[in-house]
Amino acid sequence: MVQDVRPSGAPFKRLFFALALPETQRRAVAQWRRELGLRAGKPVPAENFHVTLLFLGDVDAAQVPALCAAVDGMTRPGAPIRLLLDRLQVWRRAGALVLEPGDTPASLRQLVYGLEQRLLPLAIAEQAREYRPHLTLSRDFQGQPPEAAQAPEFFLNARRFGLYESRKDRYCPLAEWPLDEA
């Protein structure tokens, strides 16, 4: 299903690559967020929790098959990626309350770099910027990070990554790839 059309009439999709969280982890993060007692911002629905790998923005719908084919041929880490989300931060410029890792595994950085390189010939990805893995808890958030009764400590053991479409505040999976090349 196509989300929207450009002024030219060409259909497009708003896309990104991400690591999904298993249902049990989404519930645990949502419960932890509730315990923060947030009074500001717009909470991200728990079903949308993910760790962004690469934001693509608006992509012509006709390019999706080529995009998937490019990723099909990509070298992947060969093992699950283990990520510890253990820092609560406010990204002031983006107006977001996020969970970040204190340390980003090399395999995660390599995956993101591999995606960027595979998509270069397609001229799809938005402007390159330093990769900062994160899980967004709340948008339109201002102020200091709230005090947490319990420090965040969420281990993500990702075995797959996916291509997602943002549709009216819902993130819909379009394709998925294993992190081991088998």
Q: Residues 4-59: pLDDT tens digits?
A: 554 555 688 989 999 999 999 999 999 999 999 888 899 999 999 999 999 998 99
Handedness of CA 31, 33, 38, 41 (dihedral sign): negative
pLDDT tens-digit profile of 58-99?
998 999 999 999 999 898 888 999 999 999 999 998 899 999
Which of 154, 167, 149 has its CA nearest to residue 30?
Answer: 154
CB neighbourhood size of 3 (10 A): 16
pLDDT at position 1 over 70: no
End-to-end Cα spacing for the chain: 30
Scanning the structure block, which residue is given the tokens 């500001």? 40
- The crossing angle, in degrees rounded to 10, of helices 64-72 and 106-119 is 130
CA atoms within 13 A on the CB side of 18: 22
Distances from the Cα of 25 to the Cα of 18, 73, 78, 174, angstroms: 15, 30, 23, 21
Q: Who contacts 43 (Cβ-Cβ below 8 Å, separation ≥6)?
A: 33, 137, 138
What pLDDT does residue 150 have?
87
pLDDT band for position 2 (cuts 50, 70, 90): very low
Question: What class does CATH assign to 13-84+105-132+154-178?
Answer: alpha beta
Dist CA 180 CA 173 (whole Å): 19
Going from N- to C-terminal start, the domains of the chain cover 13-84+105-132+154-178
* Measured CA angle at 69 (ends 64, 73), to 5 deg: 150
Dist CA 117 CA 158 (whole Å): 21
User: Is residue 97 helix, strand or coil?
Assistant: strand
pLDDT at position 182 over 80: no
Which of 30, 42, 34 has its CA nearest to residue 139?
Answer: 42
Please spell the DSSP secondary structure of 17-66, one letter per residue: EEEEPPHHHHHHHHHHHHHTT--SSEEPPGGG-EEEEEEEEEEEGGGHHH
pLDDT at position 149 over 90: no
**Whole-prediction pTM value?**
0.88
pLDDT tens-digit profile of 100-148?
999 999 999 999 999 999 998 888 766 667 899 999 999 999 888 888 8
